[in-house]
Structures are given as C-alpha cells and as structure tokens.
Structure 1
Amino acid sequence: MEKNKRIVGLCGSLRKGSYNAMLLKFAGTLVPEGIDFEIVPFDDVPVYNADLDTPEAAERPTSVVRFRDALAKADAFIIASPEYNYSIPGGLKNAIDWASRGKDAPLMHKPVAMMGATQGMWGTVRMQTAFLPVFTFLNMNPVLQPEVLVAQAQNKFDADGNLTDEMAVGIIKKKIENLLAACSV
C-alpha cells in the first residue's frame, strides 16, 4: 500500500495574528483529502552555528533534530512568508540553513511552493525571488506558477483567518495542484 503524500508548511512570520500564518493555515484547508498537511514551527531553533553541525559535534541541538526530522517526512513544502527588507525573514532563512546541511539535508530534491501575504502592494514578490538561489543550491523543484502574492492582506482575511479573496483562493488551489503534480514526477 502506498503511503499518503505529505506536505509540510513553513511560515516565515512568528508574529501572533500573522497574515502569512493565516495564509498557510488556509492553504492547508485546500489540500485534497488523502494528502497529509502539517505546519512545522521553528521558533525554538537556535541561530545557525557550524560548530554544532559538524561530524565532530556530539549532536545537533534537540530543537534542530526535531525540526529536521519533521521536514524529512515531507514529500513537498509550502512556504508562506512576509518580506523583510526586500528579502527572506532572518528566522526562516536560519531554519532553512539548519535544514540544508549534510548528506541527510531534508529539503534536497523536493518540490516547494512559495506564497506570501503583505499589507503592502507588492505581495512579497522580492522575498519569493530571493529564495530562488536557495532553491537552486538545494536542488529543490520550485513550483513557480501561478504566483501567490496576496497584497493588502488586511482587507483579505475575515475575523476567523479565512481568506476572502476568491481570486486568491483559486490561485492557491492551482498552486497546490501543481505542487502535487511535481511530487509525482
């Protein structure tokens, strides 16, 4: 019997009430039945230190091992993130750095879908572009189309965190469909 596909979600914002956390959680409701979806937190992962990530190191920090183990179970990833200073938020980049090291790097060769929400007009386009060299290094398969760029997010979620922009909902459904197709390749 074939195992269910598993998508792991990562949110680039640690803020309570984050539009990107809402976006990621909502995207999870659009994942088809029979596909496992889990949002994996990384707020307890320490700043990357290569001294703790070498064959000579006794072991990686427990929070890093737990994070990497959760990622290793994924067939694909959805990353929802804000844009900080035209780029990737530091906490998310740090978590990716921990997950990108070693022959057992759990991100390598896996499909990934990006999306982002912002109160501004650009919809995280610069952050998503900043991820392309990271995906190249990790030999990941980024699902580039359709682009999910939720601008003016403060007007597009209801009080329960549901995305109310029907066009965005349709785009996210298509993005997830394309992500799952990339898992089958």
Structure 2
Amino acid sequence: MKSRPLKVLGISGSLRKDSFNTAALHTAAEIAADLTEIRVNFTFADLSQIPLYDQDLRDKLIPDAVAALSQQILDADAILFATPEYNYSVSGVLKNAIDWLSRLDPQPFADKPVAVMSASMSAFGGARAQYDLRRILIYLDVHFVNKPEVMIAFAHKKFDDDGKLADTDTRKFIGDLITALDRWSRRLNR
C-alpha cells in the first residue's frame, strides 16, 4: 500500500513577479508530479501581505497574513525554501516573515523537515543566502536536508521568458532535492 502524498509548502523569499526563486519552486512542483518513486503535493506561501515586524503590533495582535502562513507551515509535512541573495544574505521579506513566525507558540517550524534552494544571476547561485537561512532556521529547530545542495547560478540564462527552467542538469538537481526531502521527511516521521 502506498503512503499518502507528502505535503510540501514552498516558500519563496522574493516578491518579484518574475522571480527566479518562485519559478524554481514551481519547477520543483512540476518535477515532483512527474517522479514515480515519490508522491508529493505542493502548496505555496504568499509573503506579500506580512507587515514589517513590530513588537508593539505583535503585543496587540497577530496579523492575519502571519497567522495564515503559520497555519500553512503547521499543516505541511515539509518546507521547501527558495531564497534570493540580497547583499550576501537572505531577502528582507523572508527574514521578516521568519521573525514574525519565530515569536509564535506553538512554534510552526519546530521539527519540520526543510530543504533549501536558491537562484541567482551571480556565479554563486545564492550560496551565501542559503547558508544564512540555514543559520537562522537552526534556532527554530528545523531538520535540514543537507544534500544535495541546489544553487542555480546564472539563473537568467537557465529560465526562459515564461519562467520555465530549461536547463536539464538543474532540473535533475531539483528532482534529487525533492526526492531527498521526501525520504528525509518520511524517515523523521516514522
């Protein structure tokens, strides 16, 4: 008997309409649907309505967008982040969302299997942002997929004008990452 599909929440650290990182998440969902050895269902988070973190606001209420994202994370079996690299680190929008979520009880990220990928126009493919995101999320007690690492360098040359990933090697790496996230999640939840 096959196990139920793994519920993966994709979180992009970019708000840009034509974001390579958002396109990479959609590529991951597309690839996952074609993999026969795993069963994965994707949903996607929207960080665009989360206000800037402010303790005074936090003391009064949890904004609806934060509560909705927290519930998405709690409902997911695993998380796949796609982070751009801004000034050698994660984007402000992603860090802001994490800051909000870090102050919630129950902690939505606690014990979640997490994979990270990044896309960048640079030769480093967002590597520094990935390392910072990993450092930030360790505090929230996530369980990372360590390998493979997916850093999409020169993303502007690998995605077409419609946001489709044309590079076959990169598509394989993303498929490997999704497979590893599936295995890791099921192993942790035995």
Flag whether TM exceeds 0.5 (same fold): yes
Taking the aligned partners of 2:15 and 2:144, their CA distance within structure 1 comes to 23
After superposing the two structures, state which structure 1 stretch, 70-79 or 153-162, moved more: 153-162
Whether the aligned pair in 2 keeps the contact of 1:135 and 1:142 (CA below 8 Å) is no
Whether the aligned pair in 1 keeps the contact of 2:29 and 2:41 (CA below 8 Å) is no
Select which of 129, 132, 136 maps to 1:127.
Answer: 129
SS across alignment from 1:6: strand
Residues 1:156 and 2:158 aligned together: yes
Whether the aligned pair in 2 keeps the contact of 1:68 and 1:99 (CA below 8 Å) is yes
Taking the aligned partners of 1:156 and 1:64, their CA distance within structure 2 comes to 33
Whether the aligned pair in 1 keeps the contact of 2:24 and 2:82 (CA below 8 Å) is yes
Partner residue in 1 for 2:184: 182
| 1:52 positional shift | 3.4
Identify unmatched segments of 5+ residues in structure 2. none
Q: Which has the higher helix share?
A: 2
The AA in structure 2 aligned to 1:179 is: L
SS across alignment from 2:21: helix
Report the TM-score, using the length of structure 1 for normalisation.
Answer: 0.91
Pairing of 1:43-82 with structure 2 (within 5 A): 43-54=48-59, 57=60, 59-82=61-84
Taking the aligned partners of 1:66 and 1:167, their CA distance within structure 2 comes to 35
Identify unmatched segments of 5+ residues in structure 1. none
Residues 1:29 and 2:8 aligned together: no
Residues 1:2 and 1:122: Cα distance change in structure 2 (over 3 Å):
closer
| 1:2 positional shift | 6.7
Partner residue in 1 for 2:111: 109
Taking the aligned partners of 2:3 and 2:171, their CA distance within structure 1 comes to 29
Taking the aligned partners of 1:61 and 1:19, their CA distance within structure 2 comes to 28
Select which of 136, 141, 144 maps to 1:142.
Answer: 144
Please report the RMSD computed on the Cα atoms of aligned residues, expressed in angstroms: 1.7
Residues 1:16 and 2:17 aligned together: yes
| 1:68 positional shift | 1.1
Taking the aligned partners of 1:28 and 1:124, their CA distance within structure 2 comes to 20
SS across alignment from 1:36: strand
SS across alignment from 2:32: coil
Percent identical among aligned pairs is 35
The AA in structure 2 aligned to 1:68 is: S
| 1:3 positional shift | 5.1
SS across alignment from 1:17: coil
Taking the aligned partners of 2:87 and 2:32, their CA distance within structure 1 comes to 31
Residues 1:178 and 1:2: Cα distance change in structure 2 (over 3 Å):
closer
